[in-house]
Amino acid sequence: MTIKHRKYDILDMETGELDRRIFIDQDIYDEEMEKIFGRTWLMVAHESLVPNPNDFFLSYMGEDSVIVTRDADMKIHVLLNMCRHRGNRVMRADDGNAQNFMCTYHGWTFSNDGKLGHIPGEQEAYYGDLCKEDRGLYEARVGIYAGIVFANWDQDAPSLEDYLGDARWYLDSNFNRFEGGTVALGPQKWIEPCNWKTPVDNCSDNYHVPISHYSSSVVANKIYNLPMATMEMSLQTPNRNHHVYVNGHALTFRVAPPSNERPVRRGVTPENKPAFDAWEDIADAEAEVRLGAERAKELRLGNHSLFPNTVLGFRLAHPRGPLKTEFWHFALVPKDAPEVVRNAMQNATSQFNGAAGVFEQDDIDNWRQVTEASKSPIARKLRADISMGLKKSGPLEQWPGDHSDRYISENNQRNFYQRWMEFMNADSWRDVHIDPQTAQYEGTASFEGPSK
- Candidates 12, 51, 96, 105: give the one binding ligand FES (CB under 6 A): 105
Per-residue binding string, Fe ion, 196-235, x by CB under 5 A, is ----------------------------------------
Closer to Fe ion by CB, 199 or 400: give it: 199
What minimum distance in Å lies between the beta carbon of 363 and Fe ion? 4
Which of 203, 199, 204, 413 is closest to 319 using CA atoms? 199
Instruction: Work out what residue 363 binds among Fe ion, ligand FES, none; the CB cut-off runs from 5 to 8 Å by kind.
Output: Fe ion
Helices and strands in the chain, H and E counts: 11, 22
Residue with Cβ nearer Fe ion (365 or 427): 365
Separation between Cα atoms, residue 423 and residue 406, nearest integer Å: 28
The residue among 113 and 284 lying less far from ligand FES, judged by its C-beta, is 113
Q: Are strands 17-18 and 241-246 parallel, antiparallel or unpaired?
A: unpaired
Strand pairing of 249-255 and 76-80?
A: unpaired
- C-beta separation of 413 from 396 below 8 A: no
To the nearest 10°, report the CA torsion of 81, 83, 87, 91.
Answer: -40
Q: Min. distance of Cβ 213 from Fe ion in angstroms?
A: 6
Residue closer to ligand FES, measured from CB, 119 or 340 = 119
The stretch near Fe ion (CB under 5 A) out of 120-128, 286-294, 322-330, 357-365 is 357-365
Give least dist CB 79 to ligand FES, A: 14
* Shorter beta-carbon distance to ligand FES: residue 13 or 125: 125
Size of the residue set binding Fe ion (CB under 5 A) = 1
**Which 64-103 positions form the footprint of ligand FES (CB under 6 A)?**
83, 85-86, 88, 103
Which residue's CB is nearer to ligand FES, number 109 or number 343? 109
Query: Which SS3 state, helix, strand or coil, does residue 307 take?
Result: coil
Minimum separation from the CB atom of position 92 to Fe ion (A): 35
Q: Which of residues 165-224 bind ligand FES (CB under 6 A)?
A: none
- 290 burial via Cβ count (<10 Å: 0-12, 13-18, 19+): buried
Pick one of ligand FES, Fe ion, none as the site partner of residue 96 (Cβ within 5 to 8 A by kind).
none
| List of residues 6+ apart from 198 with CB closer than 8 A | 23, 367, 370, 371
Nearest to ligand FES of 98, 275 (CB atom) = 98
What is the rounded (10 degree) CA torsion for 203, 205, 211, 214?
A: 30
Candidates 363, 402, 410, 422; binder of Fe ion (CB under 5 A) is 363
Cα–Cα distances in angstroms (integers) from residue 201 to residues 23, 306, 323, in the given order: 12, 11, 15
257 binds ligand FES (CB under 6 A): no
Q: In angstroms, what is the minimal distance from the CB of 93 to ligand FES?
A: 17
Q: What does residue 143 show for φ and ψ, rounded to 5 degrees?
A: -135, 140
**Which residues does 111 contact at the CB level (< 8 Å), separation at least 6?**
71, 99, 100, 117
Strands (E), 1-50: 11-12, 17-18, 42-46
Residue 11: contacted member of ligand FES, Fe ion, none (CB under 5 to 8 Å, by partner type): none
3-class DSSP state of 381:
helix
Question: Of the ranges 118-126, 277-285, 344-352, 360-368, which one interacts with Fe ion (CB under 5 A)?
Answer: 360-368
Point out which span in 137-145, 280-288, 302-310, 356-364 binds Fe ion (CB under 5 A): 356-364
In degrees and rounded to multiples of 5, residue 27 shows phi and psi of -65, -40
Q: How far is the CB of 211 from Fe ion (least distance, A)?
A: 10
Cα→Cα distances 298→176, 254, 273, 295, 345, Å? 15, 8, 22, 6, 21
DSSP lists the bridge partners of residue 144 as 149
Closest approach of Fe ion to the CB of residue 129, in Å: 58
Closer residue to Fe ion in complex, CB, 286/363: 363
Q: Between residues 88 and 234, which has the closer beta carbon with respect to ligand FES?
A: 88
Q: Which stretch binds Fe ion (CB under 5 A): 24-32, 320-328, 359-367, 392-400?
A: 359-367
Q: How far is CA 166 from CA 93, 106, 302, 387, in A?
A: 37, 48, 16, 26
Q: How many residues are recorded in the chain? A: 452
- Of 35 and 84, the one with the shorter C-beta distance to ligand FES is 84
| Residue 108 contact partner, candidates ligand FES, Fe ion, none, CB within 5 to 8 A by sort of partner | ligand FES
Nearest CB to ligand FES, comparing residues 79 and 316: 79
For residue 416, give the H/E element and its range. helix 411-425
Residue whose C-alpha is closest to residue 241's, from 225, 220, 263: 263
Least Å distance, CB 151 to ligand FES, is 22
Residues in the site for Fe ion, rule: CB under 5 A? 363
Residues in the site for ligand FES, rule: CB under 6 A? 83, 85-86, 88, 103, 105-108
